[in-house]
């Protein structure tokens, strides 16, 4: 039998078939299908194309609350102290001056926006390396990895994603695996877009031990503090086993994340491309043809 996705608004237990005859619906596993339900149809019915209709609800208030919940992006708890300070300053400034009250209100709203922590839909195919950060791919180069990562000191592909102050700064694990080591290095606060920021700036590096097929691989990830950023926050420890796309850290107010790829990997992004943490595929550990890009 073939299968087709039908609208949630179809009557329970019946799917349209040829000649308007109802066909019993297969029972769905709870929690597996949300946007649509699967319905078995006969081969003679495979020419029927079903479009999803508008949601018909008997509880408008419940739907309104759900719509608001999905629209409002969660705020990471690291932002709570800054938001509280912003609220206090807004109240105090507004008491003495309406103008400065509005200024601090706008700044407080921006802090809420900065610390947003949206959900992401992460590809989980074997060998894919996803972006650890929201931002712009500003450097792709073959370099020696930082000594503190304890990776082989041979030319290694590095992909850098720069985050400006308007990007989401929650960082996500680029590949599934075990955290082999974490090393914090104090340093300067140069512009994170500069290539030398990898060597001179404050940074926090870690190595993820993963596998591709039966082959062990090691991927280096380095959080780099930038011109405005003054704090790198980590959520994980050495020995933790993480899934691809999970949150592992945050950098406050403008920064960069470098990914060091093992031999044989192929980069799948271009310079200047917008990257989304946990969603954009940066590279393939299995190699394959390179992608070509042009600015339009």
Measure Cα distances from 131 to 5, 119, 204 in Å.
Answer: 32, 14, 17
Q: Which of the residues are catalytic? A: 255
Q: How far is Cα 269 from Cα 287, in angstroms, rounded to an integer? A: 13
Q: Does residue 1 contact residue 42 with C-beta atoms inside 8 Å?
A: yes
Q: Does residue 190 contact residue 201 with C-beta atoms inside 8 Å?
A: yes
Q: How far is Cα 17 from Cα 12, in angstroms, rounded to an integer? A: 14
Nearest to 167 by CA among 86, 105, 104, 229: 229
First to last CA, the chain: 46
């Amino acid at each position: 039998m073939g299968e087709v996705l039908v609208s949630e608004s179809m009557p329970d237990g019946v799917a349209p078939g040829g000649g308007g005859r109802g066909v019993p619906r297969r029972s769905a596993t709870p929690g597996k299908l949300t946007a649509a339900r699967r319905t078995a149809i006969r081969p003679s019915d495979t020419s029927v194309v079903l479009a999803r209709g508008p949601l018909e609800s008997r509880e408008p208030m419940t739907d309104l609350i759900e719509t608001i919940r999905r629209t409002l992006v969660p705020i990471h708890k690291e932002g709570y102290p800054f938001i509280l300070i912003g609220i206090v300053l807004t109240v105090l400034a507004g008491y003495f001056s309406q103008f400065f009250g509005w200024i601090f209100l706008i700044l407080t709203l921006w802090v809420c926006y900065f610390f947003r922590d949206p959900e992401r839909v992460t590809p989980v195919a074997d060998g894919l390396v996803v972006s650890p950060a929201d931002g712009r791919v500003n450097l792709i180069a073959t370099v020696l990895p930082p000594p503190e990562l304890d990776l082989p000191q041979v030319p290694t592909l590095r992909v850098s994603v720069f985050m400006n102050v308007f990007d989401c700064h929650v960082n996500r694990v680029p590949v599934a695996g075990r955290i082999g080591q974490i090393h914090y290095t104090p340093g300067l606060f140069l512009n994170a877009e500069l290539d030398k920021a990898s060597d001179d700036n404050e940074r926090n590096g870690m190595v993820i031990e993963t596998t591709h097929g039966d082959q062990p691989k090691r991927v280096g990830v380095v959080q780099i503090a930038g011109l405005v950023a003054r704090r790198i926050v980590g959520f994980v420890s050495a020995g933790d086993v993480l899934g691809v796309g999970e949150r592992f850290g945050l950098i406050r107010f403008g920064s960069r994340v470098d990914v060091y790829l093992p031999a044989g990997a192929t980069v799948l992004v271009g310079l200047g491309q917008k990257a989304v943490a946990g969603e954009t595929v940066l590279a393939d550990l299995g190699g394959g043809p390179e992608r070509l890009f042009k600015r339009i």
